[in-house]
Amino acid sequence: MDSVATTLMQQYEPRYGSLAFADSSAALAQLGRYTADLKRLVREKEDALRQIEQAHLAALTLLSRAAEFRDDDTGVHMDRVGLLSQLFAHLIGRSEEESRMLRMAAPMHDIGKIAIPDAVLKKPGGYSTEERQVMNNHTVFGAEILGQSEIPVFQMAADVALTHHECWDGSGYPAGLRGSQIPWTGRVVALIDFFDALTMDRVYRKAFSDEQALVMLAEQRGRKFDPELVDVFMQHVDQFIQLRDEINAAARDYAALLRPDSSQLAREAGF
């Protein structure tokens, strides 16, 4: 060991004790052990974070399911919204990770309905001004529930819950956002939610046909919905309807539909 290195070692020895490395191979071996320990700690931390994320997702999915069952006897609407939104994200060029996250986030769009009284949520016919305000608050309640987590998928879900009733022309709620002020995730889920809700039976009406729903959707181009997204949906409507029908026909495992590794339906759709 050269004299400079020797001097430095002597300098540090009283403070830290002998480093006890007679040669470079011993030092490298010790460094390797430190590196291995650090990698193990990082893996353990990542595993713990994944478990926390999965626990959050499971809990919030069940809460979303409970809210959905209050408004939809089958609870399949949220499954369709998740998978159809993933397909939509893919078609407009979002990344695979963004599309996957939206599939998990979109089903939570109406989680805030858990806080809406049955007298309002299940009321047939129109709402009074006061009842309409109560109902509209489900967007804010949902964002407050989901926004407590800093995990990205729940931040996305909070954005969706808050903005899926905003309108392209600024006439929506709760904030009256317009155009690109509305996050792309909220714009996608709004359109999917609208079409799917029209084509399912509700307590106050029978389902509209696909043809009727498409006419109603086209009427809202540039008003309620992003005109470019309406165009993409119309161009690929056969894919959306096919996937929807497969979801309806499948013997579903609800948890499997929402897991990060997803269901056979999502894999067959090319994700």
Active site residues: 113
Distance CA 154, CA 112 (A): 14
DSSP result, 25-88: HHHHHHHHHHHHHHHHHHHHHHHHHHHHHHHHHHHHHHHHHHHHHHH-SS--HHHHHHHHHHHH
φ/ψ (deg, to 5) at 114: -60, -20
Closest CA to 106 of 185, 195, 194, 14: 185
Q: Which of 250, 260, 225, 233 is nearest to 58 (CA)?
A: 260
Which DSSP helix (H) or strand (E) runs through 89? Answer: helix 77-91
Residues 6+ apart with CB under 8 A from 167: 178, 223, 224, 225
